Chain A
Protein backbone atom coordinates (compact mmCIF):
# COMPACT_ATOMS: atom_id res chain seq x y z
CA UNK A 1 0.00 0.00 0.00
CA UNK A 2 1.35 3.38 -1.03
CA UNK A 3 -0.16 6.84 -1.03
CA UNK A 4 -0.88 8.51 -4.34
CA UNK A 5 -2.19 11.81 -5.54
CA UNK A 6 -3.98 12.48 -8.80
CA UNK A 7 -4.90 15.76 -10.45
CA UNK A 8 -7.13 15.50 -13.49
CA UNK A 9 -8.69 18.09 -15.74
CA UNK A 10 -12.31 17.70 -16.79
CA UNK A 11 -13.73 19.19 -20.00
CA UNK A 12 -15.03 22.74 -19.39
CA UNK A 13 -18.41 22.04 -21.06
CA UNK A 14 -19.39 19.66 -18.25
CA UNK A 15 -21.38 21.29 -15.47
CA UNK A 16 -22.21 20.23 -11.89
CA UNK A 17 -24.23 17.05 -12.49
CA UNK A 18 -22.18 15.38 -15.21
CA UNK A 19 -18.95 16.53 -13.56
CA UNK A 20 -19.94 14.79 -10.34
CA UNK A 21 -20.82 11.67 -12.34
CA UNK A 22 -17.24 11.46 -13.65
CA UNK A 23 -15.76 12.04 -10.19
CA UNK A 24 -17.96 9.36 -8.61
CA UNK A 25 -17.12 6.98 -11.47
CA UNK A 26 -13.41 7.30 -10.73
CA UNK A 27 -14.01 7.01 -6.98
CA UNK A 28 -16.03 3.82 -7.55
CA UNK A 29 -13.16 2.44 -9.60
CA UNK A 30 -10.77 3.24 -6.74
CA UNK A 31 -13.07 1.54 -4.23
CA UNK A 32 -13.30 -1.54 -6.47
CA UNK A 33 -9.50 -1.81 -6.42
CA UNK A 34 -9.60 -1.65 -2.59
CA UNK A 35 -8.19 1.86 -2.53
CA UNK A 36 -9.08 4.28 0.23
CA UNK A 37 -9.92 7.87 -0.68
CA UNK A 38 -8.37 10.28 1.83
CA UNK A 39 -8.91 13.73 0.36
CA UNK A 40 -10.84 15.23 -2.55
CA UNK A 41 -10.76 18.83 -3.65
CA UNK A 42 -12.27 20.79 -6.52
CA UNK A 43 -9.97 23.62 -7.64
CA UNK A 44 -12.68 25.00 -9.88
CA UNK A 45 -12.50 26.20 -13.46
CA UNK A 46 -9.05 27.49 -14.36
CA UNK A 47 -7.49 28.95 -17.48
CA UNK A 48 -4.74 26.90 -19.11
CA UNK A 49 -1.37 28.44 -19.91
CA UNK A 50 -1.58 26.73 -23.31
CA UNK A 51 -4.55 25.16 -25.11
CA UNK A 52 -5.23 21.45 -24.54
CA UNK A 53 -7.43 19.76 -27.15
CA UNK A 54 -8.38 23.24 -28.43
CA UNK A 55 -9.82 24.12 -25.01
CA UNK A 56 -8.74 27.15 -22.98
CA UNK A 57 -10.38 26.26 -19.66
CA UNK A 58 -10.82 23.15 -17.55
CA UNK A 59 -12.03 22.00 -14.14
CA UNK A 60 -9.25 20.68 -11.91
CA UNK A 61 -9.95 17.88 -9.41
CA UNK A 62 -7.39 16.78 -6.81
CA UNK A 63 -7.72 13.32 -5.22
CA UNK A 64 -5.45 11.71 -2.62
CA UNK A 65 -5.79 7.99 -1.90
CA UNK A 66 -3.97 4.85 -0.84
CA UNK A 67 -3.70 1.99 -3.31
CA UNK A 68 -1.67 -1.09 -4.17
CA UNK A 69 1.04 -0.18 -6.66
CA UNK A 70 -0.03 -2.81 -9.19
CA UNK A 71 -3.46 -1.19 -9.60
CA UNK A 72 -2.10 2.20 -10.65
CA UNK A 73 -2.12 1.16 -14.30
CA UNK A 74 -5.85 0.39 -14.04
CA UNK A 75 -6.54 3.88 -12.71
CA UNK A 76 -4.40 5.53 -15.38
CA UNK A 77 -6.18 3.46 -18.04
CA UNK A 78 -9.54 4.59 -16.68
CA UNK A 79 -8.43 8.23 -16.82
CA UNK A 80 -6.81 7.81 -20.23
CA UNK A 81 -9.88 6.27 -21.91
CA UNK A 82 -12.36 8.81 -20.59
CA UNK A 83 -12.86 11.35 -23.39
CA UNK A 84 -14.01 14.04 -20.94
CA UNK A 85 -10.72 14.04 -19.04
CA UNK A 86 -8.23 16.24 -20.88
CA UNK A 87 -5.13 15.59 -18.76
CA UNK A 88 -4.13 13.78 -15.61
CA UNK A 89 -1.06 13.48 -13.39
CA UNK A 90 -0.50 10.69 -10.86
CA UNK A 91 2.24 11.21 -8.27
CA UNK A 92 3.40 9.20 -5.31
CA UNK A 93 3.27 11.08 -2.01
CA UNK A 94 4.31 10.66 1.61
CA UNK A 95 1.79 10.04 4.34
CA UNK A 96 2.71 13.46 5.76
CA UNK A 97 1.61 15.14 2.50
CA UNK A 98 -2.02 14.06 2.89
CA UNK A 99 -4.25 17.04 3.49
CA UNK A 100 -6.95 16.97 6.12
CA UNK A 101 -10.43 17.62 4.90
CA UNK A 102 -13.51 16.16 3.33
CA UNK A 103 -13.44 12.90 1.38
CA UNK A 104 -16.52 13.89 -0.58
CA UNK A 105 -16.56 16.45 -3.33
CA UNK A 106 -18.16 19.77 -2.45
CA UNK A 107 -20.10 21.45 -5.20
CA UNK A 108 -18.73 24.80 -6.24
CA UNK A 109 -21.86 26.66 -5.09
CA UNK A 110 -21.46 25.38 -1.55
CA UNK A 111 -17.80 26.35 -1.58
CA UNK A 112 -18.54 29.88 -2.75
CA UNK A 113 -21.21 30.20 -0.04
CA UNK A 114 -18.81 29.01 2.64
CA UNK A 115 -16.12 31.42 1.47
CA UNK A 116 -18.50 34.39 1.52
CA UNK A 117 -19.70 33.42 4.99
CA UNK A 118 -16.14 33.13 6.23
CA UNK A 119 -15.36 36.54 4.77
CA UNK A 120 -18.42 38.02 6.49
CA UNK A 121 -17.36 36.55 9.82
CA UNK A 122 -13.84 37.87 9.35
CA UNK A 123 -15.16 41.32 8.51
CA UNK A 124 -17.42 41.34 11.57
CA UNK A 125 -14.55 40.23 13.76
CA UNK A 126 -12.21 42.86 12.34
CA UNK A 127 -14.80 45.60 12.87
CA UNK A 128 -15.55 44.56 16.44
CA UNK A 129 -12.04 43.84 17.69
CA UNK A 130 -10.42 47.26 17.25
CA UNK A 131 -13.29 48.96 19.13
CA UNK A 132 -12.84 46.64 22.08
CA UNK A 133 -9.13 47.27 22.05
CA UNK A 134 -9.71 50.99 22.05
CA UNK A 135 -12.13 50.69 24.95
CA UNK A 136 -9.63 48.60 26.85
CA UNK A 137 -6.96 51.17 26.24
CA UNK A 138 -9.29 53.89 27.47
CA UNK A 139 -10.10 51.87 30.56
CA UNK A 140 -6.46 51.30 31.28
CA UNK A 141 -5.73 54.98 30.86
CA UNK A 142 -8.66 55.91 33.09
CA UNK A 143 -7.64 53.47 35.80
CA UNK A 144 -4.13 54.80 35.72
CA UNK A 145 -5.39 58.34 36.09
CA UNK A 146 -7.65 57.47 39.02
CA UNK A 147 -4.83 55.58 40.68
CA UNK A 148 -2.56 58.54 40.26
CA UNK A 149 -5.22 60.83 41.75
CA UNK A 150 -5.65 58.50 44.71
CA UNK A 151 -1.92 58.41 45.21
CA UNK A 152 -1.83 62.17 45.18
CA UNK A 153 -4.68 62.30 47.68
CA UNK A 154 -2.87 59.89 49.93
CA UNK A 155 0.25 61.98 49.71
CA UNK A 156 -1.74 65.11 50.53
CA UNK A 157 -3.35 63.46 53.54
CA UNK A 158 -0.01 62.26 54.84
CA UNK A 159 1.32 65.80 54.46
CA UNK A 160 -1.64 67.18 56.38
CA UNK A 161 -1.11 64.71 59.18
Chain B
Protein backbone atom coordinates (compact mmCIF):
# COMPACT_ATOMS: atom_id res chain seq x y z
CA UNK B 1 0.00 0.00 0.00
CA UNK B 2 0.97 3.52 -0.46
CA UNK B 3 2.61 5.76 2.08
CA UNK B 4 2.91 9.44 1.21
CA UNK B 5 1.75 8.65 -2.29
CA UNK B 6 4.61 6.22 -3.06
CA UNK B 7 3.17 2.95 -4.35
CA UNK B 8 5.33 0.02 -3.32
CA UNK B 9 5.46 -3.48 -4.75
CA UNK B 10 5.80 -6.47 -2.43
CA UNK B 11 9.46 -7.60 -2.49
CA UNK B 12 8.39 -11.26 -2.30
CA UNK B 13 6.20 -10.97 -5.38
CA UNK B 14 9.07 -9.39 -7.30
CA UNK B 15 11.58 -12.08 -6.31
CA UNK B 16 10.09 -15.48 -5.45
CA UNK B 17 13.47 -16.77 -4.18
CA UNK B 18 13.13 -14.50 -1.14
CA UNK B 19 10.07 -16.41 0.11
CA UNK B 20 12.32 -19.27 1.25
CA UNK B 21 14.24 -16.81 3.39
CA UNK B 22 11.22 -16.14 5.60
CA UNK B 23 12.42 -18.50 8.31
CA UNK B 24 13.47 -17.98 11.91
CA UNK B 25 16.85 -19.55 11.08
CA UNK B 26 17.49 -16.71 8.58
CA UNK B 27 17.23 -14.16 11.36
CA UNK B 28 19.72 -11.85 9.66
CA UNK B 29 17.27 -11.44 6.76
CA UNK B 30 14.35 -10.89 9.15
CA UNK B 31 16.28 -8.01 10.75
CA UNK B 32 15.18 -5.96 7.74
CA UNK B 33 11.60 -6.11 9.00
CA UNK B 34 12.19 -4.90 12.57
CA UNK B 35 13.13 -1.46 13.85
CA UNK B 36 16.22 -0.66 15.91
CA UNK B 37 14.04 -0.97 18.99
CA UNK B 38 13.01 -4.48 17.92
CA UNK B 39 9.45 -3.69 16.85
CA UNK B 40 7.99 -5.37 13.78
CA UNK B 41 7.61 -2.80 10.99
CA UNK B 42 4.00 -2.59 9.71
CA UNK B 43 3.32 -3.89 6.21
CA UNK B 44 2.10 -0.54 4.89
CA UNK B 45 5.60 0.88 5.47
CA UNK B 46 7.64 -1.96 3.97
CA UNK B 47 5.14 -2.74 1.22
CA UNK B 48 5.01 -6.47 2.03
CA UNK B 49 1.73 -8.13 1.06
CA UNK B 50 -0.58 -9.41 3.79
CA UNK B 51 0.16 -13.04 2.98
CA UNK B 52 3.90 -12.72 3.61
CA UNK B 53 3.55 -10.25 6.48
CA UNK B 54 1.68 -12.97 8.38
CA UNK B 55 4.57 -15.37 7.75
CA UNK B 56 7.19 -12.79 8.70
CA UNK B 57 5.55 -11.93 12.03
CA UNK B 58 5.26 -15.58 13.06
CA UNK B 59 8.88 -16.29 12.13
CA UNK B 60 10.15 -13.16 13.94
CA UNK B 61 8.31 -14.28 17.05
CA UNK B 62 9.96 -17.71 16.84
CA UNK B 63 13.38 -16.08 16.48
CA UNK B 64 12.65 -13.95 19.54
CA UNK B 65 12.10 -17.04 21.69
CA UNK B 66 15.60 -18.26 20.79
CA UNK B 67 17.13 -14.82 21.51
CA UNK B 68 18.14 -14.47 17.85
CA UNK B 69 16.08 -11.27 17.60
CA UNK B 70 15.20 -8.89 20.43
CA UNK B 71 11.80 -8.46 22.05
CA UNK B 72 12.94 -4.92 22.86
CA UNK B 73 16.49 -3.74 22.25
CA UNK B 74 18.09 -2.65 25.49
CA UNK B 75 20.79 0.04 24.90
CA UNK B 76 22.54 -0.92 28.15
CA UNK B 77 22.90 -4.57 27.11
CA UNK B 78 26.10 -5.36 25.28
A interface residues, how many (CB within 8 angstroms): 14
Asked if B66 and A89 sit within 8 Å, CB to CB, the answer is yes
Asked if B68 and A49 sit within 8 Å, CB to CB, the answer is yes
Asked if A87 and B62 sit within 8 Å, CB to CB, the answer is no
- In the bound complex, residues from chain B placing their C-beta under 8 Å from that of A87 are 65-67
Contact A9-B77, Cβ < 8 Å, known A50-B71, A62-B25: no
The yes or no answer to A72 lying at the interface (CB within 8 A) is no
A133 to B68, CA, bound (A): 44
Q: Which of B67, B74, B77 has the most CB of A within 10 A?
A: B67
Do most interface residues of chain B lie in helix, strand or loop, or is the interface mixed?
loop
Do most interface residues of chain A lie in helix, strand or loop, or is the interface mixed?
strand
Give B26 Cβ to nearest chain A Cβ, in Å.
Answer: 12
The yes or no answer to B70 lying at the interface (CB within 8 A) is yes
The yes or no answer to A38 lying at the interface (CB within 8 A) is no
- In the bound complex, residues from chain A placing their C-beta under 8 Å from that of B68 are 46, 49
* Cβ-defined partner of A89 (8 Å) among B62, B70, B73: B62
Asked if A89 and B67 sit within 8 Å, CB to CB, the answer is no
What is the size category of the interface that chain B forms with chain A?
10 to 19
B25-60 vs A, Cβ < 8 Å mask (1 yes, 0 no): 100000000000010000000000000000000000
* Cβ-defined partner of B67 (8 Å) among A49, A62, A91: A49
The yes or no answer to A60 lying at the interface (CB within 8 A) is yes
A87 to B74, CA, bound (A): 20
- In the bound complex, residues from chain A placing their C-beta under 8 Å from that of B22 are none
Asked if B77 and A51 sit within 8 Å, CB to CB, the answer is yes
- In the bound complex, residues from chain B placing their C-beta under 8 Å from that of A51 are 77
Give the residue name and chain of the B residue nearest to A93 (CB): B23
Give A91 Cβ to nearest chain B Cβ, in Å.
Answer: 7
- In the bound complex, residues from chain B placing their C-beta under 8 Å from that of A48 are 67
The yes or no answer to A151 lying at the interface (CB within 8 A) is no
Give the residue name and chain of the B residue nearest to A46 (CB): B68
Asked if B25 and A49 sit within 8 Å, CB to CB, the answer is no
A87 to B62, CA, bound (A): 12
- In the bound complex, residues from chain A placing their C-beta under 8 Å from that of B77 are 50-51
